[in-house]
Amino acid sequence: MNCPEHLMLDAKWLMIWHHQSADIRREYVSWAEVLNPLRYEICIGQGPGRYWHINDDAVAWHLLRNAIWRVKTLCWLRGHDWRELNSFQKPTMICNRCMKTRPAEY
Ligand SMILES: [Zn+2]
């Protein structure tokens, strides 16, 4: 994402980006997104190609959201809901709720 609307601060050695859930204008972004510190990316360095990225592409937020989603699917409690995955590769099973895959046992 290289949208200038997401650029919060552009100093000589520092850039701060805010990763939104959609490409919309800043005035329509919800406060839950603006106040979420895990959505901010900090780049420190001499210029393009030489930046050190802290929280690159808001990866911390995505890891947290994926972990929350894995817990909320309740596969850890109910067990996976396996079905066959139609694939031209090797036979594979996939969970209907969490999309986890495993090789089929036949
Ligand atoms: Zn599952």
Distance 26 CA to ligand 1 centre (A): 36
pLDDT at site 72: 94
pLDDT tens sequence across 29-65: 999 999 999 999 999 999 888 999 999 999 999 999 9
Distance 73 CA to ligand 1 centre (A): 7
On the question of pLDDT at 2 being above 70, the answer is no
**What does the chain come to in residues?**
106
Please name which of 41, 40, 44 lies closest in space to residue 12, comparing C-alpha atoms.
44
CA-to-CA distance for 2 and 77, rounded, in angstroms?
A: 40
Distance 39 CA to ligand 1 centre (A): 27
Please compute the mean of the pLDDT values over residues 82-99 and round it to a whole number.
89
**Domain definitions of the chain by residue range:** 1-71, 73-106
On the question of pLDDT at 106 being above 60, the answer is yes
Distance 84 CA to ligand 1 centre (A): 13
